Amino acid sequence: MDLAISRRHVAVAILVILGWAVAAHAEDAGHGAAVTGLAAANLYIIAFAMSWGPVMWVLLGEMFPNRMLGAALALFGATNWLTNFAVTVTFLPLLKALGLGGAYALYAVAAVVSLPFVWALVTETRGKTLEQMQG
């Protein structure tokens, strides 16, 4: 297992812990629950910045031939912004419908569902040339 995939595991695990901390202690949000939630949120941001966040940009630069790289980056960059917008727009309705713990749990489920996709379809590119990856 490569380092990037193991970092993604950490990001998903922290998101699950964050959802649990918020859901389990929503009624009696004492000091311990607040510290756990805050720590999990910050650890998730760190883990995301080291794994899922930059992976799309790295893979896009490696998986398309140079003749179509600009168009591919534009298309998938726009797709990334649209999905970020969708998460932003749906957060408040999810918060009202499911509560904070439920919203985080839903995002955690989406992250867990993405792991088999990554294991099956995202290949390791370390040590390979662009020609080997595009071939």
Provide the whole-model pTM: 0.59
Average pLDDT over residues 64-76: 86
Predicted local distance difference test score (pLDDT) of residue 3 = 47
- Residue reference for tokens 């040339």: 129
The residue among 121 and 20 whose pLDDT is bigger is 121
> Cα–Cα distance between 46 and 43 in angstroms, integer?
5
Query: Topology of domain 3-134, per CATH?
Result: Growth Hormone; Chain: A; (1.20.1250)
Predicted local distance difference test score (pLDDT) of residue 113 = 86
Question: What pLDDT, in 10s, does the model give residues 6-34?
Answer: 656 666 777 677 666 666 655 556 677 67
Taking residue 70's Cβ as centre, other Cβ atoms within 10 Å add up to 10
Considering only CA atoms, which of 126, 130, 104 is closest in space to residue 12?
A: 104
